[in-house]
Amino acid sequence: MIATMNPNPQAEKRRLRRTLVEQIGYLPLEQRSAQERTLIESVPRLPGYHQAKTVLLYVSAFPEEIQTRILLEEALANGKRLVCPRVDRAAGMLRLFLVEDLNADLQPGTLRIPEPAGHCLEIEPAAVDWVLVPGIGFDSRGFRLGRGAGHYDRLLPRLRPTVPRWALAFECQWMEALPVESHDVPLDGVVFPHRRVVRNEVDSGPPPV
């Protein structure tokens, strides 16, 4: 756990990104694999997921990210409408598209991140019932540290207010309090391998079973 008191939030966020990415990289492979397995298995039991017909999941692309491929496959296998984001660089925002075949519908996009291909059907944010949000660090208030582009901070307010917003994180990504700016949007909760953190309420027990 890392605490921060730096009065310059942007500078502190840059420092924390470097530190947290390094810490994830230091995780022994066996330990990381065990944590990742626990996190992936927790998703179907998170609030709102089972009832959701349309789920927004991100496609992992960076070494420090939890691998979401299994989640994408399971969502399709369970008959959910799978939506994935594509970066619109000109507009500086994320656009959402329906993905029905992971091999045919995903292709390298911005920063080589797999994104929905041009033939995919665009989906309005209001159609999403549940969302998994990526991040580098998370705190007990539900705030997340992203990569700095602000794409999800602009996307989340466009979802319906009642849509559950969750994230998965390794233990080393937990922070007591992140630096926060006015545009930062909190999540409903974050699942760590040995606890589930709900906004403003820390449950020190195991993930939901």
Question: CATH code at 50?
Answer: 3.40.50.10420
Integer angstrom CA distances of residue 13 from 136, 150, 177: 10, 12, 12
Total domains in the fold of the chain: 1
What are the pLDDT digits (tens) for 107-132? Answer: 988 777 899 999 999 999 999 999 99
Q: How far apart are CA 62 and CA 101, in angstroms?
A: 21
pLDDT band at 13 (very low <50, low <70, confident <90, very high): confident
Q: Is residue 25 part of a domain?
A: yes
Q: Is residue 208 part of a domain?
A: no
pLDDT band at 183 (very low <50, low <70, confident <90, very high): confident
Mean pLDDT score across all residues of the chain: 89
Predicted structure pTM score = 0.89
Q: Is residue 85 part of a domain?
A: yes
Ordered alpha helix ranges (H), the chain: 9-26, 29-42, 69-77, 102-105, 151-155
pLDDT band at 91 (very low <50, low <70, confident <90, very high): confident
Domain range for 17: 9-198
Q: Is residue 155 part of a domain?
A: yes
Q: How far apart are CA 71 and CA 138, in angstroms?
A: 21
Q: Is residue 207 part of a domain?
A: no
Assess whether pLDDT exceeds 50 at residue 31.
yes
